[in-house]
Chains A and B, each alone.
Chain A
Amino acid sequence: MTFFAPFTIPFIVGTIFLFVAVATKWILWIARLPKVDRRLIAHNFFSLGTLAAIWEVVRESLLHAKIFRRNPLLGFMHMSLAFGWFLLIVVGWIETIVYLGFEMIPLQGHVFFKYFMPLNGIEAHIPLFEQLMDALLLLVLTGVALAWFKRIASKAMGMRRATKHVLFDRIALSALWFIFPARLVAESLTAALYGGNGFLTGTLGGFIGELLPTEVLTTLYEPAWWFYSSALGLFFVAMPFSRYMHIFTEIPLIFLRRWRLRPTLERKSYDNFEVEACSRCGICIDPCQLQEDLGIHDTQSVYFLRDRRYNMLSLKVANNCLMCGRCEAVCPVGINLTTLRINSRAKRRNIPHEGRYRYLTSLDRSSGEGKVGYFAGCMSSLTPAVQHSMERIFEAVGEAVWYADKDGGVCCGRPLMLSGETDAARKMVAYNTDLFRRHEITTLVTSCPICLRSFRENYHLDGIEVLHHSQYLDRLIAEGRLSVKQGEESYSYHDPCELGRGSEVYDEPRRVIEAVGELREPRHSRRDALCCGSSLANTVIGDEQQLRIARRMTRELEETAADAIVTACPLCHKAIARSTHHTVVDIAEVVARNIAE
């Protein structure tokens, strides 16, 4: 048998196109990887990471476990489409092998098996396959039905807002929606004409066979298969240019990630894998406070990645983001949205004149001596009560402290990084690193989560332990070095983005608060905590808008009816203080007030 019929042409063309397009993308992306990344691949290729990646592909790309955890119905929709289609291919393959043995069968032979091998052409017919294939088709069709349902009622599937799609996505989406109903029709017609006893196509075929005369069935037969093949072909052609490229991108991304490749402050080829792995599922839209509080609907991560992918990213979209990390926390693909956003900004940076940094040479305003260094951070200069409290605490425990910036210091560099000024930021990084090394500290305590994240992610401070002051205070209390008195006051704690989602510090500040009073949680807390809105990362929204974001967040803190609102970030402190009439204090102040005599 030749396994050829004219109707297969759209499918064959589409498939060849798809393979060439995807292969070209992969080859180019991998070839352009920087040397560091290629070395990482070579180094980690034969490692447990590879096995872990295989398991992750099954769990996430096929079963969509993360989406399941978010909303079971939404998870089922993604799973039925991905895993159902995958099994259709696999079981179909086995079916042909079982019936025809291991001979060379062209791809269309597998896909259109029912056309080339209707039931009456098979001698040792195994009904199990038919039932199984029908069951899988039903599974996929359920997914398609849910996808339609999601278009009209996304709320029922845990999404208040769904993605607005571009033209290519709409073409691919329409084609995708037609593929499986078309397959159902084509296979049912085949069953009507040639028999078949699958519970879905067989029953439907029998029904059609009784309803329509044979002449009508034979006239419809070829066009139905043409339609199915064309839908497949069209989908395959649109695929590499649409959101569905994520199917072929997420898999290599999972491997690369397990081999420890990461995006950096500068754009590189690896970013392509992250950018095109976005399926535009839109799960990132709902958590975005710009959307919820300000009605900004075009800058969410899904649109940012889309614009970046199609080279139409505007400065406004790139810059209009709080980088609070709420979208990153829910992204089912685990895309490094913040880093990609930063390096998109870096493309448009200004490179300042070298002479501007001359002030850095031989500058040292630090004071005191000790193995513990304290870096209050620029923002803490605007909330001096934090510094005072820390000084009192250091004194109370008799810690010898070297004060890095008590009399003014150099910025940690993160505000510059966030606006894409990576070169300028590196000057700050180099200066501070040198300063810390010169004073031979072994622990670095900072009161600013922005600095904390910068020290942890962008500095190489091997041998120096970097702590946020809440962690340091927690340790002092746990080790019994600092005794505090348990008071009557209740505190509502706000998780700063850079401390919580950014640095994974959730428990320490809570333990510290519980040591001195009663802790109360706002409705959104920990990984789900709301941003205060005054993020340094957003250079587009104005004060009024920042305030609107802050008000909703503050309301939740007020609703706990605690005596005071506590935070652990000078920037959040300022943002909360201007949006409430309640008392706002830093965690260091709370501790300093409750030092046992």
Chain B
Amino acid sequence: MAHRVVIVGGGAAGMQTALELKSRGIEPVIVERDIELGGKARGWYKLFPSFTPAGDVMRPLAERVKRERIRCFYGQEVTEFAPDGVILRSGERIPADAVVVATGFTLFDAHRKQEYGYGLYDNVLTSVDLERMMNSGAVTLADGSMPRRIAILHCVGSRDEKVCQKHCSKVCCITGVKQAIELKQMFPEADIFNFYMDIRMFGPGYEELYREAQERHNIHFVRGRISEAAETINKRIQIKAEDTLTGRPLRMTVDMLVLLVGMSANYENAELAKRAGLELSPNGFFRTVDSFLGAVRSQREGIFFAGAATAPKSLADTLAEASLTASAVDEYLKNSFNK
């Protein structure tokens, strides 16, 4: 009889782990909180740095899960997990031989940086809102007109002690560059400004894209965080910042302000970790054994991680890690049960 592995979370990490396990003859079961698979990447427009449509990656994954007849629980939340299974909110217990935690992350709630006016001003949106707008094919201001000047603010809820988010969310810098280029292609006449602290272009093709944004698309990069935003009478956004390269304070009025929201740890992690006897990193993400050979292993035998549950990760990193998780689970099952 095939071993059963419960995967908590049906996003990119969960689906990829499930598919890899299935191909190794193991029976994966996915428990998804939402009513369908896909996680945060669902509804995303295009992926950096290649501008690949997100659907081209996510759709085949979900279709394969269906084709492989992998059992999925939808709209179900896991309240407790242990190496021998998980307990759902409904009280139902799913027994298993191992558990993979692929619970991902929570988007930083931009309302918490009230000074940027998210939720207060019509033309302040998050990078996620913008992605959805682009997906729906209509990027406009609240009144339906075209933006002529756009500011993109990096590190909203990342590297910000004031909101207890000390870590770097890793993907926002390149997302900011990607979205700036997309906006520029949509509105060639518009001026686009990226406000940043540091530009972290570590991945393959990232730096090249960053140069392209400046050289080919004439996108402006200002080193300095925006301190506050206010709405003018005609619904434009007045921002205050400091250009730290010239050392001068700066006031600017833009039509649209895009907040690159970071990745926060899930609020539920603390309770789940406590019940399962796992540890958390100071930033609230699950702690792995180490970041080398134990990068997908937890402190308890039989509980594994995949994806952004342990740290902010790009989709590419997540997919690669999920395969690694599947192989680690396989090895564990072989060693523990087939003696």
Contact = CB atoms under 8 A, between A and B. Distances in A.
B114 A578 contact: no
Q: Is the interface of B mostly helix, strand, loop or mixed?
A: mixed
Contacts of A592: none
B120 A383 contact: no
Contacts of B301: none
Nearest to A406: B230
B114 A385 contact: yes
B161 A543 contact: yes
B115 interface: yes
A109 to B, nearest CB: 70
B198 interface: no
A577 B115 contact: no
A482 interface: no
Interface string B228-239: 111000000000
A543 B240 CA distance: 24
A103 B103 CA distance: 94
A545 to B, nearest CB: 11
Given A382-B228, A384-B230, A543-B161, A577 B117 contact: no
Contacts of A578: 112, 162-164
B114 A382 contact: yes
B267 interface: yes
Given A543-B161, A581-B267, A382 B115 contact: yes
Instruction: Find the residue from B114, B117, B163 having the highest chain A CB count within 10 A.
Output: B114
Contact of B162 (A381, A383, A543): A543
Contacts of B114: 382-385, 577
Interface residues of B, number: 14
Interface in B88-122: 112, 114-115, 117, 120
Nearest to A534: B162
Interface in A557-597: 574, 577-579, 581
A384 B240 CA distance: 14
Given A384-B120, A385-B120, A577 B161 contact: no
Interface in A269-306: none
B234 to A, nearest CB: 15
Contacts of A117: none
Contacts of A408: 240
Nearest to B163: A578
Contacts of A384: 114-115, 117, 120, 228-230
Contacts of B230: 381, 384, 407
Nearest to A387: B230
Interface string A405-424: 00110000000000000000
Interface string B205-248: 00000000000000000000000111000000000100000000
Interface in B117-166: 117, 120, 161-164
19 contacts: A381-B115, A381-B228, A381-B230, A383-B114, A383-B115, A384-B114, A384-B115, A384-B117, A384-B120, A384-B229, A388-B120, A407-B230, A543-B161, A547-B164, A577-B114, A578-B162, A578-B163, A578-B164, A579-B164
Interface of A: 381-385, 388, 407-408, 543, 547, 574, 577-579, 581
Given A382-B114, A578-B162, 8 more contacts: A382-B115, A383-B114, A383-B115, A384-B117, A384-B120, A385-B114, A543-B164, A579-B164
